[in-house]
Amino acid sequence: MAGSKEGLAYWGDKPVAVVTDPSWGDNGKGKVVDEAAQYVEMVARYNGGPNSGHTVKNERGKFVFHGVPSGILNPEVLCIISTGSVVNPISLGEEITELRKIGVEISASNLLISRDSHLIMPWHRMRDNLQETVRGGNKIGTTGQGIGPTYSDRALRTGFRVKDLLNPQFEEMFDKELLLQERLSRFIRGEPLISDLYIEELDGQNTQMIAEMVRLALQTKYYDHDAILEQIREAKDIIGPMVTYVLPVIWDYKDKGKKIVGEAGQGALLDLDSEAFPYVTSSHPTAAGFTMATGIQGKEIDAVIGVTKGYSTRVGKGPMPSELHDEIGEYIQTVGEEWGATTGRRRRVGWLDIPATRYGIKIGGIDTIALTKIDVLDELDKIGICVAYEVDGQRYNDMPSADPDFMSKAKPIVELLPGWRKKTSGIRAFEALPVETKQYVNRVQEYLGKPINIVSNGPEREAIIYS
């Protein structure tokens, strides 16, 4: 495998590592996982779905992965989509097809999909967007990819799983589910239902009635029955050979001492169990989420790497105490190309939020930091760090809660450090960085209380410094 001596030493010392994010996501996990994939044998996506947009840039070009794990560019690495993730078969099939067109090798030899992952269907996306519309001014700010409704179905012990695609009766199951979802979509919109029948009556006892209901459903403006089925058939042909029981494969790699990296979607502050509710995702990006998805327990994890930028960003709704609403924020937004890889929405930008990041480190189980995008700050005269909050006249060095009510009242206490006003991209050794850059990194490390072992100063794979 390709890679540097420093990278081999870093990743080679960690048979099982988890790459997550201590804050709100979008901090460069894809780049770090792509780098790790040069030294490990397995990359396992363990939560989320196509709401993630993991960007990788190397000698082959720029890639944005949504459903496919970020280790896929190394054909020697086995990539896993675990049960903790949800799968949109249509978009995943399209993503695989597009990657194959540009020469990326993808087959059952390097990508396996858990048969027990829940499927994101078109009605989940519809429900996602309908629910956001109904919320009006109280929108959560979802990506609209159907993630929440799919996890909701999983919690309700309903919906389809990947293995259902391989069931000979799938199309009959599909017809009944489409009927139910049509009724639900109309109900959410407050429209007349297509029948006064109760769902409980649709149990196969009155086939003529069911046939009439299906006929009406085929005419709906919400879902195109035939088009969806055709898309799913095409997707099944692509992903079907990759569907399997993934846990025995993961455990076999672990037992044989092969190196495994877990890849999170989103960030610890968006964990479903976070106090930041309702501005959270519907899964578990923390190290605990990796354990739930893989069966590899915390005591067996050798390192949890928290990826965070040299400044803070957030997409969607929810309080962000250090947010910048001035020309500096606009500058960082522009130079850092801060817009969502999945939604295209502009990311909100602020100084690096130490209380929030430190909180995320604790709930995320993080023990080492990868600090990315420091090159975005190269031209600034002063660089701020939000070191504490003021809430109702009281100073908080640590965030006692991620509760939105508390965070919405938090005023940032900012420490300004001198900028370096020098180009850092292209530098490949920590000692060679400008003095002020090293001072900044060391100051952040001091505040976070965790070692910063990786510094990234550019989007390219090789723009990584092991410190």
pLDDT band, very low/low/confident/very high, at 96 (cuts 50, 70, 90)? very high
5-82+246-466 carries CATH number 1.25.40.10: no
Q: What is the pLDDT of residue 131?
A: 73
Contact 175, 123 (CB under 8 A): no
Query: What is the model's pTM?
Result: 0.90
Report pLDDT for 206. 62
Render 41-74 in DSSP notation, one character per residue.
Answer: SEEEE-SB-TT--EEEEETTEEEEESSS-TTTTS
What pLDDT sits at residue 260? 98
| CA gap 82, 136 in Å, rounded | 34
Sheet holding 243-244, edge to edge: 243-244, 111-114, 78-81, 42-45, 260-263, 16-20, 303-309, 368-372, 452-456, 464-466
The answer to whether 114 and 81 have CB atoms below 8 angstroms apart is yes
pLDDT digits (tens, 9 = 90+) for 304-360: 999 999 999 998 889 999 999 999 999 999 999 998 666 677 899 999 999 999 999
Q: In the prediction, which pLDDT does 205 show?
A: 56
- Find all residues with CB under 8 Å of 352, minimum gap 6, and list them: 308, 309, 310, 311, 312, 322, 384, 385, 386, 444
For residue 149, pLDDT over 80 is answered with yes
Q: What is the pLDDT of residues 260-294, one digit of tens each?
A: 999 999 999 999 999 999 999 999 999 999 999 99
Residue 2 scores a pLDDT above 80: no
- Of the candidate ranges 81-85, 135-139, 386-390, 402-406, the one whose mean pLDDT is the lowest: 135-139
Residue 363 reports pLDDT greater than 60: yes
Average pLDDT over residues 400-424: 97
Instruction: Tell me the per-residue pLDDT of 450-467, one tens digit each, with 9 for 90 and over.
Output: 999 999 999 999 999 998
Q: Over 70: is that where the pLDDT of 18 sits?
A: yes
Catalytic positions: 26, 54
> In this structure, are strands 411-418 and 382-391 parallel, antiparallel, or unpaired?
antiparallel
How would residue 212 be classed by pLDDT, with cut points 50, 70 and 90? low
pLDDT at 196 over 50: no
How do strand 411-418 and strand 452-456 relate by DSSP bridges? unpaired
Rounded to an integer, what distance in angstroms lies between the CA atom of residue 235 and that of residue 150?
Answer: 18
Domain borders along the chain are 5-82+246-466, 118-240
Find the helix packing angle between 207-218 and 170-188, rounded to 10°. 60
Instruction: Please say whether the structural domain 118-240 has been given the CATH code 1.10.300.10.
Output: yes
- How far is it, in rounded angstroms, from Cα 77 to Cα 58? 17
Q: Which two tokens stand for residue 224?
A: 């195109």
Question: Looking at residue 183, what is its pLDDT?
Answer: 76
- What confidence score (pLDDT) does residue 217 get? 55
For residue 49, give the nearest of 282, 306, 340 by alpha carbon: 282
Q: Strand 260-263 to strand 16-20: parallel, antiparallel, or no bridges (unpaired)?
A: parallel
Q: Given this model, what pLDDT does residue 198 score?
A: 41
More confident site: 328 or 203: 328
Between residues 367 and 177, which one has the greater pLDDT?
A: 367
pLDDT for residue 29 = 95
pLDDT mean across residues, the chain: 90
pLDDT at 204 over 60: no
* Range 232-239 average pLDDT: 97
Which segments of 137-224 does DSSP mark as H helices, in order?
A: 147-155, 170-188, 207-218
- Under the banding of pLDDT at 50, 70 and 90, the label for residue 225 is confident
More confident residue, 191 or 224: 224
Q: By the 8 A CB rule, do 293 and 43 touch?
A: no
